[in-house]
Structures are given as C-alpha cells and as structure tokens.
Amino acid sequence: MMPAPRLCLIEDDPIMGESLCDRFALERLEHDWFRDIASAGAALRTREYAVVVSDIRLRDGTGDALFESLRAEGVAMPPWLFITAFGAIDRAVGLLKQGAADYITKPFDLDVLVERLQGYLEPMVSDAAGERLGVSPVMRHLAGLLPRLARHATTMLITGESGVGKEVVARELHRLGEDAGAPFVAVNCGGLSESLLEAELFGHEKGAFTGALQRRPGVFEQAHGGTLFLDEIGDMPLAMQVKLLRVLQDRQVTRVGGSSSREVDFRLICATHRDLRAEVQAGRFREDLFYRIHVIHLRIPPLRERRDDIPWLARRFLAEAGGRGGEPVKHLSPQVEQALLTHEWPGNVRELKNAIERACVLSAGDQLMLEALFDDVITGPVEVEGFGSADLHGYLRACERGYIEKALAANEGRITITAEALGISRKNLWERMKRLGIPALEPDKG
C-alpha cells in the first residue's frame, strides 16, 4: 500500500503552529512540524513530502531563502505554499514567479488553507485509493456508482464527447469487478473498415482471406471471462450491427472462414460520442441493438461542465510527466491555473493532458509557463506592460488580451478561424473581445 501523502509545516510561532497541527490532525492530514530553517532543510533534503506550508519570516532565516537554496541544489521540490503578512504580498508574488505554488496572507481562514492543500493532496490520495475519477460533484457521484455496477451490471453504455475519459471509466468498472484478473479487451469500432472490423471482432481461420496466414481468435473470444470494450459503437456499420446483435443474443461466435461456433461470455461496455437515439431515428443505428446495449447508461460530462476537475487532472498529469529526462516535477502557478480554468477544452481530458505534456517540455524550471500551454498559436511569451505594478486580476486580464490579440493577428483577424485555433466558439471569442476591449481587425472576414 502506498503511504499517505505527507505535508511539511515550517512555522516558528508556537501558537500558530499548534493551531495548524490541530487542524491537520482533525483533517487526518499526515504532517511534520519544523520550527527552524535548519531542521526543515535537513528533512526536505532526505524525505518526500507532498506539499510544504512555510512562513516567510522565521527566527533563524526566511522561508523564501530556504526555498531558493533547495532549488539551487537541485532538490526535488514539492509544491510550496507560503504564509505571509499583508505587507509582504509583493514578496510572495515574486516567489510565485520563481516557482512557488501559492501564498496565503495573515490572518487567514483555516478552511481556506485546508481547501487549497486538498487541491494538492487529493490527486495523490485518489491515485493510492484507485477509486476517484475527479473531485467535481458529478464525478464523485459517478465514482460512487461504479462499485455496485461493477458487481451486478453485465451490459453498459457510456456516452460523452471525445476525450472525456470513457475508456478510463470502462477500465475502472473492470478493475472493480469480480473479473478484474480476467482480460480487458478494447477495440475502436470507428477506426477500422467493415472487413477489418469483422476480422477483429470474430477472428479468422488460416486462409480465410488474403493475408490470413494463421488462425487468429477475435476480441469476442479474447474477452471471454472478462470485459469487452467497444469504443465508438455509434460508428459501427449497419451490417456489423446485425452480427453483433446475434452474438449478444446467442453468446456464440464463428470465425471468418470457419464453420464451427464457440461460446463466449463477457461483460460488454460500449461507448460513443454520438446521440444513439438520434442515430436510430436517422436509420444509422439499429433500434434493437440500441435497447440491447442501453441497459445501464452512464454519461461523462465534458470538462466545461466540471471545471473543478481541471486543476485536479492537471496536477495528476504533471505528476505523471514529472522526472522525465531529469527534469524537476513542475507545478501550477495561479496564473496558469486560471488559464486552464477559462479555456473551453473542446478536446476535454485528452486535450488537457496533451497541453500539460507539451507545456512540461517547453517550460524551463519547475513551473509551467503560461505561454507554453497553447503554443499552437503563440510563438513567444506574452508581454504585459506594467506587470510589476499590476494585481493578479489585472495581470491575468492582460495575459488573456495579449493572447487573443496575437491569435487574431496570426489569423489575419478572421474570427471563425481564430476561435477554432483557440478552441472556443465564435460567440465566446466575440464576448471575450468585447469584455477586453479588443476591436475586430477585419469584421467582414468572419
């Protein structure tokens, strides 16, 4: 079993330290409390922590000096959250630029601090537990349903836009079921021609067609005793739908070029990004097959409907990408997190993961660079005038304005093309331009 994530508290004020430790204990957060720079530094060089909470001003030094020295030594750095007095906010903002994760000003609400810490700890806890699909209410509810479905349901349909994680849910259902040790076999019904799909599903005998040099069992047989995941079943040709329905009714398959049938038994999970009811009405999907696979229906909402999951997923992807090629594990600054939250993510979780992986490659140091997230449009960093005197809201607004202006310039002012490049709708782009005071360069071009 993986150890519980542990946090490091650096605080020399006994009243503040005891108060924080009491709350951490109440929240069942494993933690170590250090009252001086020397002992904290020794621990951080030898132990693994999930997050550091450090006061800036300490009796034997400063928390930011420790932060900078550890970075210079190349120590693997967990996310750092600084506690600072109101008068030292500029100093804390400077630390964010250097790679700190966040800061909180005194006096602060302990609930707020715990909520922020949970944002760093929850991905690690959920990975260890293997039970969580997200932190948003809808994904928590879905995760709560899966154990019962995994025990009792044998046929399920998962719907949702491309990239939302339909296969992730299917694999979780398999993992939670009694057949977890049996095969999980996945096939994309929309990625193969009809003839190749038939051979993939049913298998073939040697010599059944040109290139069939040896006997090969299909996925129905491969999934026997386990789970068969048919992705994008809405793209399956009608002729294949008839054959699939027959297998589901008879639980027998005959290989292409064969004469004898074989019994098969598997849990069936289907997935599609299409509206199958509409496909049935349009004559592109068989009604009898629809009712056969529509026993249990799970809808995975897109990221824009569960934005609470975006930072959670981003930190998971950062953890997965961390350490490659000797690079330090990177963290999300408040600016980057805000950019993630405001993006529409038409490609959903898949797009988010690709963006994080790309930004990890392009970002130097241990913090993601804002301009590296969407480098398909921006070729250089966004220049923000007067950044040193701008508050966080002003900075983010300036970044967004600069980003959109460069995207418009790169696409010669064409609104539709620019919106597609930014991954948002045309209406959304117009609304953002209006809010930010960006004039349309060439409105007639669309």
Instruction: Spell out the domain ranges in the chain.
Output: 6-129, 137-299, 325-445
Given a contact cutoff of 8 angstroms between Cβ atoms, the answer to whether 446 and 415 are in contact is yes
Q: Quick one: CATH architecture of 137-299?
A: 3-Layer(aba) Sandwich (3.40)
Pairing assessment for the beta strands 155-159 and 296-299 based on DSSP bridges: parallel
Q: How crowded is residue 383: how many other Cβ atoms within 10 Å of its Cβ?
A: 11
Q: Sign of the C-alpha dihedral, residues 111, 117, 118, 119? A: positive
Determine the pLDDT at residue 101.
Answer: 78
Closest CA to 59 of 125, 122, 13, 95: 13
Question: What is the Cα–Cα distance from 17 to 8, expressed in whole angstroms?
Answer: 12
User: Could you tell me the two tokens for 76?
Assistant: 């693997």
Q: Residues 386, 390, 394, 399: is their CA dihedral positive or negative?
A: positive
pLDDT computed for residue 157 by the predictor = 97
This model's pTM is above 0.85: no
The top-scoring range by mean pLDDT among 126-140, 209-223, 273-287 is 273-287
Residue 286 has a pLDDT of: 96
CA-nearest of 288, 274, 166 to 238 is: 288
| Phi and psi at residue 175, to the nearest 5° | -60, -35
Residue type, 88: A
Q: What is the pLDDT of residues 243-256, one digit of tens each?
A: 999 999 999 998 88
Tell me the per-residue pLDDT of 183-239, one tens digit each, with 9 for 90 and over. Answer: 999 999 987 888 888 888 988 787 767 776 787 888 999 999 999 999 999 999 999
For residue 375, what pLDDT band results from cuts at 50, 70 and 90? low
**pLDDT for res 395:** 60
Question: pLDDT tens across 379-435, in order?
Answer: 344 444 444 444 555 666 777 777 788 888 877 788 878 887 777 777 778 878 877
Question: Cα–Cα distance between 209 and 61 in angstroms, integer?
Answer: 77
Helix, strand, or coil here: 105? strand
pLDDT in tens, 61-74: 889 899 988 887 87
Asked whether the predicted pLDDT for residue 296 surpasses 70, the reply is yes
Identical topology for domains 6-129 and 137-299: yes
- Bridge partners, residue 102, by sequence: 81
Return the CATH superfamily for domain 6-129. Response regulator (3.40.50.2300)
